[in-house]
Amino acid sequence: MTVDRLILGRPLRGVAFDAAVSGLVVLVAVLGLLAEQGGLPAFAVGVAMAAVLFFRRTHPSLVAVAVAALALAQVVVGWGPLGYDIGVLIALYSVVKYADRARDGILAGIGAAIGVLLSALSWPGPAPWWAGALYYGLVTGAVWLVGLNVRTRRLYVLSLEERAATLEREREAESRAAVAEERTRIARELHDVVAHSMAVMIVQADGVRFTLDRDPATAREAAKVVADTGRQALEEMRRLVGVLREPSRPEPPPVTDEPAAEPAHRRPALVELPALLDRFRAAGLRIACAGAGTPVALPPGLELTVYRVVQESLTNALKHAGVGASVELTLDWDADAVVVRAVDDGRGRPVVRPAPSGGHGLVGMRERVGVYDGSLAAGPTLAGGWRVEARLPLPAPAGTEEGSAAA
């Protein structure tokens, strides 16, 4: 990234160019002095015109007025057109291009037309005055039109830049809103998980109280269930607090999906995956589901995350790959993680009805996987389809946790 150096509060390149323009006018004035055109007074007017032109970008209207006054003084004195009068054309071009209001450029054009008539009346030589008026008018009109054309292009480019900046801000705002909404949804679902665990603990604790004397074995088993459920609830509570406390991470622009198919307070489970796949097959996807390793029981929150990742992956495949696309869905169970992988071939046709969804596409999946310290990779494949792979660490066995606590 390049950063323009500033001098006098202006970019160095612009200051250098304006200084060069002023220097050119001074040079022409020096040549006129050497040619004895008007003497020192005319040279002083040329130098003043050059000094004023240095501010033609920041104060174009004032510069145009000052240059016009100097040119008028030159005509009144009777020096006639001189070489440094090129500064009049530069001032005219600058006010048309840089003035905040187009009205200033129009007024400058009217003033230039009056100046053309005055200069034509003092046209030297035997040629008629209208010939000078025609010559000066063509030159001045050409400069005015060039300035107008450059101003139009400049304003058009500025409008495009402003529009791009506005769209970027809107996209970032939409992304933050989607992340916030998805985090709220995750927090609500984890709250439901914790509430369920608390209810189980209460029921089991009541069972321990009533069976402690009559059936100690059953009471011990119930107490173990209370302890295990409490550990899971504590872990889910930590994740819930983490979701609520962590600042929203910057994410790619959200993939807007349709509203969720399940009711707001319903918590799906992995046993419902066959029904979910059937719904997507009925919607038009050709799904091949496979698995590796031995499935293990997951905490309710982690189980919900796996379900949502599968759901969002198939939703994106249906929306973007289209009806008729083939999807290879695999669930690999390792010793320390479960890996969900969905790869489509991208060879479907446009979808004709909304797909069931569980959140905000990639944004939702990243948020959910991040809650459980997992990783998500998504991107196009060489064959033209799309690949989503989520790796979610499995919790340590209860016995390991108890051993660690005892140590």
The mean pLDDT values, 10 residues at a time, for the chain of 407 residues are 58 82 87 79 87 87 88 78 83 87 85 80 68 81 88 88 88 80 70 62 71 78 75 69 56 40 56 85 85 85 86 83 87 91 83 48 79 88 89 74 41
305: phi then psi, degrees, rounded to nearest 5: -65, -45
Domain 270-396 belongs in CATH node 3.30.565.10:
yes
Q: Is beta strand 286-292 parallel, antiparallel or unpaired with respect to 326-333?
A: parallel
Please state the separation of Cα 354 from the chain's center in Å: 27
Could you tell me if 337 and 391 are in contact, meaning their C-beta atoms sit under 8 angstroms apart?
yes
The 3-state DSSP class for residue 349 equals strand
pLDDT at 135 (0 to 100): 79
Could you tell me which of 139, 24, 23 has the C-alpha nearest to residue 81? 139
Domain range 176-245, its CATH number among 2.40.128, 1.20.5, 1.10.3470, 1.20.950: 1.20.5
**How many beta carbons lie within 10 A of that of residue 21, not counting itself?**
18
Q: Residue 274: enclosing H or E segment and its boundaries?
A: helix 273-283
Q: Domain spans of the chain?
A: 6-122, 176-245, 270-396
The pLDDT, as a whole number, for residue 252 is 42
Say what the pLDDT of residue 329 is: 93
27 and 43 Cβ atoms separated by less than 8 Å:
no
Determine the 3-state secondary structure of 285 from DSSP. coil
pLDDT at 9: 64
Q: Which of 5, 112, 16, 98 is nearest to 58 (CA)?
A: 98
Q: Is the Cα torsion angle 298, 300, 302, 305 positive or negative in sign?
A: positive
